[in-house]
Chains A and B, each alone.
Chain A
Amino acid sequence: MSGFAQNTFNGLVSGAFYALLALGLAVIFGMLRVVNFAHGAFYMLGAFGAYVLLSEAGVPFWAALVIMPVGLGLLGMALERAVIHRLTKLDPLYNFLLTFGLTLILQDLVKLRYGVQSSPYETPSLLSGSVDFGLFDFPTYRVFILGFAVLLCVAVWWVLTRTRIGMVVRAATERPDLTRAFGIDVGRWVTPVFGFGIGLAGLAGVLAAPMRAVNPLMGADLIIVVFAVVVIGGLGSIFGSVAAGFGIGLVQAWGEAYLSTFPLVSQTIVFVVMAGVLLWRPAGLFGREEAPA
């Protein structure tokens, strides 16, 4: 029983990372109709930034947890203004080329300076040790990640469903043209929303630094699964992306623990689930089919 509980907890923790990344992708896609393939690179920059801040300037984890999301969010807003916004009128192929190209540039810039080896990042002292849950012990840091991610998802949900800003974002996501006709300058909201999505990716990166290997390719490895998560949840569905994020984390952890006779099960099971969901519901679990234009 304690083994199962532990696997479940581990699944929820990796699910928390998927959820934070998928949430950012979902709000960006909803508002801009741009699939941001560079999302993993910003996650990596978040982790790397935290590492560089600590090792070269002695800036602690807690400060990095604020500095990196804000800094990357601003960088994201600048990129949106400079290049991303040009994608809206172009063939979707350019969307892929530009954001994938950005990924390669960001990864290689980091490689150029720091090489490809992984760097260790110490768990902040406040969160070292473990929490006793009776049946099993669990590292304090992972408990913190899970709690923090859940709080953040709830906060985003609250803003989206209970505030005027959230209402405008939902309306603009669902029907941008119609929303303009009701006197709302949809374009004004696009840049901050993009920055917010990138900031979430950066935040997930900082959270990952103490428990995952910090290296230039850490985002590239993760983002493939996150895209599967977004497709399963329904592209553009905020709730779907979060639910699917935690769900896939669980499925992976259970698969690894109980289907270990099949090699590589944790890497492939996501895509088996995705294929199944797409056969059953082509728009994803919580997605709505787009009305023909």
Chain B
Amino acid sequence: MLRIENLSAFYGEAQVLRDVSLEVSAGEVVTLVGRNGAGKSTLLRCVMGLHPGQRGTVELDGRDITRLPAHKRARLGLGWVPDDRGSYATLTVTENLTLPPTVGSDPWSLERVYEAFPALYTRRDSAATMLSGGEQQMLALARVLRMGARLLLCDEPTEGLSPLLVQQVGDLLREAKRHGVTVLLVEQNLHFATGVADRHYLLAEGRVAEAMDNSEVRSRERELLAYLGI
């Protein structure tokens, strides 16, 4: 579904991604793990079309989208879940949910979202930034599901959440996968990653250092945790 070939990205003079190539098949959940500064978030931004300094190719369903602006990529079914959760202070919870146009064949209705997230329903007319961190994370995920996105790009959705909420995020991603949604996930929490994902890419210094499956990550957990510095 998503194919990245020889992707390089720059911040001014500094190169943060070096010839990264990877693939995500339809219906898969794939994580990007790596230390801070390894280029994971930049990679997601490149796929979304939000990073101006890049070279290489990004393909979605065999179509080259490298030159496509972000709003057109979103309309092809990319769902953006940014690391800061992307809550709008000047929009209510409902407005945050209904801002993106629906794009996919299976968008969630607002009723379904509120049924799944009663906490969002009770705060539906509040400014989104008044929600707790966990609620804002749910809002960010609910927003792209309501949009009907086919490929979710999630940047550390469990960061700073309590174990209970981490579990909820996991349940949600697994449910999305059951409905055929594909996910590319930046994640530091290996335990969480192996619980929701099929495969993993280890990024180091802007390159894909290794591709691993779940059993490999589990058997090397200690070594990987030490490497990631957690």
List residues of chain A with CB under 8 Å of any chain B CB.
167-168, 170-171, 173-175, 177-186, 288
In the complex, the answer to whether A175 meets B100 with C-beta atoms within 8 Å is no
Main secondary structure of the interface of A (DSSP, over half): helix
In the complex, the answer to whether A181 meets B70 with C-beta atoms within 8 Å is yes
List residues of chain B with CB under 8 Å of any chain A CB.
48-50, 69-71, 74-75, 78, 80, 82, 86, 88-91, 95, 98-101, 103, 143, 147
A119–B230 Cα gap in the complex (Å)? 75
In the complex, the answer to whether A178 meets B82 with C-beta atoms within 8 Å is yes
In the complex, the answer to whether B80 meets A181 with C-beta atoms within 8 Å is yes
When distances are taken between beta carbons in the complex, the residues of chain A under 8 Å from B103 are 183
A173–B88 Cα gap in the complex (Å)? 10
In the complex, the answer to whether B50 meets A182 with C-beta atoms within 8 Å is no
Of the candidates B69, B75, B99, the one whose C-beta lies within 8 Å of that of A179 is: B99
In the complex, the answer to whether A167 meets B71 with C-beta atoms within 8 Å is no
In the complex, the answer to whether B88 meets A181 with C-beta atoms within 8 Å is no
The 10 closest A-B pairs by CB, nearest first: A183-B74, A182-B100, A181-B80, A180-B70, A170-B90, A180-B71, A185-B71, A183-B75, A181-B70, A178-B86
* Shortest distance from the beta carbon of A170 to any chain B beta carbon, whole Å: 5
In the complex, the answer to whether A168 meets B48 with C-beta atoms within 8 Å is no
When distances are taken between beta carbons in the complex, the residues of chain B under 8 Å from A179 are 99
When distances are taken between beta carbons in the complex, the residues of chain B under 8 Å from A175 are 86, 88
Evaluate whether A174 and B88 lie within 8 angstroms (CB atoms) in the complex, with A168-B99, A181-B74, A182-B147 already known: yes
A45–B129 Cα gap in the complex (Å)? 42
19 pairs of residues in contact across A and B, judged by CB atoms under 8 Å: A167-B95, A167-B98, A171-B90, A173-B90, A174-B89, A174-B90, A174-B91, A177-B50, A178-B82, A180-B70, A180-B71, A181-B49, A181-B50, A181-B74, A181-B78, A181-B86, A182-B143, A183-B74, A184-B71
In the complex, the answer to whether B88 meets A170 with C-beta atoms within 8 Å is yes
Nearest B residue (CB) for A182? B100
